Amino acid sequence: MIGSVRRVAVGLVAAVSLSGAWGASARPASSDIPARPEKIEFRPLRFEPPKAADFRSVLSTGTPVYMAQSKEVPLVTVIFTFRGGSYLNPKDKLGLASMTGALMRRGGTVSVPAQDLDEKFDFLAAQVNTSIGEASATASINCLKSNFDEAFGLFVDMVRNPGFQSDKTEVYRAEVLEQMKQRNDNADGLLNREWSRLLYGEDHFESAVPTKAMVESITQADMQAFHRRIFHPGNLIIGVVGDFEPADMKARLEKALSGWAAGEKIPLPPAPTHELKPGVYAVEKDIPQGKVYIGMRGLKRGDPDEIAIDVMNDILGGGGFTSRIMNRVRTEGGLAYSAGSRFSFGPYYPGEFRALFQSKSSTVALAAKYVFDEVAAIQSKPVSAEELETAKNQFIDTFPRRFESKRGIVSTFIDDEWTGRPADWWATYRDKVRAVTAEDVQRVAKKHLDPAKMAFLIVGRWDEIAKGDVDGKASMKEFFGGQVTKLPLRDPMTQQPLPAKQ
């Protein structure tokens, strides 16, 4: 228990430590404890973000390299990143990008059989990964400094001359098909797939879903061609982190890339053309909760409102327990375990706004009502000074964390270079946050959020969900005129709609 005596003493201590040097001697080890945490005096923390130029160099192939040394443990990490991804898939061979990415690691090299390569990497205790995602491809190695040369040599051979060994391809293909069978098992998977379709339309790569026939049609030649197109030094940025000497490392990288010809330039990912149709959508799934996404198209990076929107969304639903949606849906309502929102800025085309929660069937409508209430509230009234300050401080004071690890620094700069982020973005970031006002927050909420233009997607037991809660506080009749579009379950292997179960 803290007695009132201690509380009285607090103001005094704070005053003393203002003038004195911070440390044990300035503050005697008495029982003085401030009444509130805001009254603690903290020494200032100075932090200037690192500059990309200090980490960047260029190889003779024109390939940029970001290097950050760390001698804490005798490990070295090298990351090769390439532009390109599933947006380059032929329409009838969706799944080619990810299969190529997986088989580069699993299928050996032209001269080393897959089994031998795996055994060597494992014996050397090297962690090697390759993957091709939606918009970028990565090959990375993390290994002990002591055997770097051997492990890295194998790694470079794998990246340059992958074998795509056929038996390993078949094992992987079978795995993919087994995964495919499970597509309708998990409610979150259903939710994400249907959400992408609503937002991006059927024919954009973000919503594209490979079928069994497509996966079966992918050949070794397909993978070789896909690999050749993306993996070359003209389409590469390298990151190195760990226990190495920069000059020495640069020489090794030069050697690794020598004789590797640059290929053609890769186009940027295409923007979606689909127009989202607002309304309620439901997928039937026998689970005791309704899983919900509510949202609409967002904005592209570099929008003048970007930072103000970050602050607005933090207050609305992005800030975890300090956000309004979490407060209303979870803390006050007890209606969900997780609830919140995100507003994303796409590097190549607009991202999305999405509020989400999951609640027992009967209270899905009520929780959704709270979400829409909060969207309306942040549009109609300025946020409080306290909320604004909490959100802004959060961005400003956690800013150093982006650069806390060497790996984080290098990853940030590589991403910035690929996506063309302005050079002074981080240097002025905190000032941009400081400049956001309550009026800005209200203005961007009005301008960029529009409930009438949103899609409201639910996976769960529709009949229970539609009825609403026992007390009659909300039902699904309240949204979009009570209309619902039932989305069919799709055959997991063909993605053709299945007849509804009776």
Partner 1 sequence: MIRSIVSALAAAACVAAAAIVSPAPPCAAQQLDVQEFTLDNGMKFLLYPRTEEPNIIAAGWLAKVGSVNERPGITGISHFFEHMMFKGTNTIGTKDAAKDKEFRAKQKAVRDELMKLQLGEQYKRYKAGEIDDPWNPANDTPKMRELRGELAKLMREQLDITQKNEFDRVYTSMGASGMNAFTSEDVTFYFINVPANKFELWAWMESDRLTNSVFREFYAERDVVHEERRLRTESTPTGVFQEQFEAMFWMSSPYHWPVIGWTSDLNSYTMEQAADYYDIYYRPNNLVGVIVGDFRPEEIKPLISRYFSRLERGPREVPPVVTLEMPQMAEQRMNAEGDFQPQIEVRYKAVPFRHADSYPLEVMAQVLNGRTGRLYKTMIDGKKIASSARASLDIRKYGGAFSFEAETKGEASPADLENAWYEELARLQKEPVPEQELQKVKNQFAANTYRRLTSNFFIMVQLGMAENMGGWQELNDGPRKIQAVTAADVQRVANRYFDRKNRSVATYVRASGTDSKEDPELAKLGETMGPMVKQGIKRQLAQLAKETDAGKLRQGLAQMEERKAQAPAQMQPVLEYMAKKVQERIAELEKSGKGGGQ
Residues 132-171 that bind partner 1 (CB under 8 A): 142-144, 146-147, 150, 167, 171
Shortest CB 473 distance to partner 1, Å: 12
Q: Given the complex with partner 1, which of 146 and 485 has the nearer CB atom?
A: 146
- List the one residue from 131, 322, 344, 419 that touches partner 1 (CB under 8 A): 322
Shortest CB 401 distance to partner 1, Å: 6
**Where in 230-249 is the site for partner 1 (CB under 8 A)?**
none
Angstrom distance (rounded) from CA 370 to CA 469: 13
Is 4 a residue that touches partner 1 (CB under 8 A)?
no
**Where in 170-199 is the site for partner 1 (CB under 8 A)?**
171, 174-175, 178-179, 181-182, 184-187
Please state the separation of Cα 230 from the chain's center in Å: 23
Instruction: Give the Å distances, CA to CA, from 6 to 20, 32, 156, 407, 460.
Output: 21, 6, 65, 45, 54
Is 401 a residue that touches partner 1 (CB under 8 A)?
yes
Q: With contacts defined by CB under 8 A, name the span among 95-103, 216-224, 394-402, 413-421 that binds partner 1.
A: 394-402
Instruction: Give the Å distances, CA to CA, from 210 to 85, 118, 257, 489, 492.
Output: 14, 28, 34, 16, 10
Is 400 a residue that touches partner 1 (CB under 8 A)?
yes
Angstrom distance (rounded) from CA 257 to CA 7: 67
Q: Do residues 441 and 378 make contact, with C-beta atoms less than 8 angstroms apart?
A: yes
Give me the long-range contacts of 23-32 (CB less than 8 A, separation at least 24): 31/6, 32/6
Is 12 a residue that touches partner 1 (CB under 8 A)?
no
Q: With contacts defined by CB under 8 A, name the span among 87-95, 112-120, 133-141, 416-424 that binds partner 1.
A: 112-120
Angstrom distance (rounded) from CA 58 to CA 38: 48
The DSSP secondary-structure symbol of 488 reads P
Angstrom distance (rounded) from CA 105 to CA 103: 5
Q: Given the complex with partner 1, which of 243 and 417 has the nearer CB atom?
A: 243
Q: Do residues 220 and 164 make contact, with C-beta atoms less than 8 angstroms apart?
A: yes
Q: Given the complex with partner 1, which of 291 and 354 has the nearer CB atom?
A: 291
- List the one residue from 18, 42, 221, 275 that touches partner 1 (CB under 8 A): 42
**Where in 64-93 is the site for partner 1 (CB under 8 A)?**
70, 72-75
- List the one residue from 60, 111, 166, 331 that touches partner 1 (CB under 8 A): 331
- List the one residue from 11, 90, 288, 420 that touches partner 1 (CB under 8 A): 288
Is 271 a residue that touches partner 1 (CB under 8 A)?
no
DSSP symbols for 264-287: PPPPPPPPP-PPPPPEEEEEE---
Q: Given the complex with partner 1, which of 167 and 245 has the nearer CB atom?
A: 167
Q: Do residues 284 and 486 make contact, with C-beta atoms less than 8 angstroms apart?
A: yes
- List the one residue from 202, 332, 431, 450 that touches partner 1 (CB under 8 A): 332
Angstrom distance (rounded) from CA 479 to CA 456: 9
Is 338 a residue that touches partner 1 (CB under 8 A)?
yes
Q: Given the complex with partner 1, which of 332 and 439 has the nearer CB atom?
A: 332
Count of residues of this chain found to bind partner 1 when the rule CB under 8 A is applied: 87
Strands 279-284 and 455-460: parallel
Q: Given the complex with partner 1, which of 320 and 488 has the nearer CB atom?
A: 320
Site string for partner 1, 20-39 (x = CB under 8 A): ---xx----xxxxxxxxxx-
Question: CB neighbours of 164 closer than 8 A, spacing ≥ 6?
Answer: 100, 103, 104, 107, 220, 223, 224, 227
Please state the separation of Cα 181 from the chain's center in Å: 26
Q: Do residues 311 and 367 make contact, with C-beta atoms less than 8 angstroms apart?
A: no
Angstrom distance (rounded) from CA 409 to CA 47: 14
Is 397 a residue that touches partner 1 (CB under 8 A)?
yes
**Where in 421-480 is the site for partner 1 (CB under 8 A)?**
470
Q: With contacts defined by CB under 8 A, name the span among 83-91, 336-344, 346-354, 371-379 that binds partner 1.
A: 336-344
Q: Given the complex with partner 1, which of 85 and 318 has the nearer CB atom?
A: 318
Q: Given the complex with partner 1, which of 193 and 229 has the nearer CB atom?
A: 193
Q: Given the complex with partner 1, which of 89 and 142 has the nearer CB atom?
A: 142
Q: With contacts defined by CB under 8 A, name the span among 215-223, 321-329, 436-444, 474-482 that binds partner 1.
A: 321-329
Angstrom distance (rounded) from CA 315 to CA 310: 9
Q: Given the complex with partner 1, which of 187 and 296 has the nearer CB atom?
A: 187
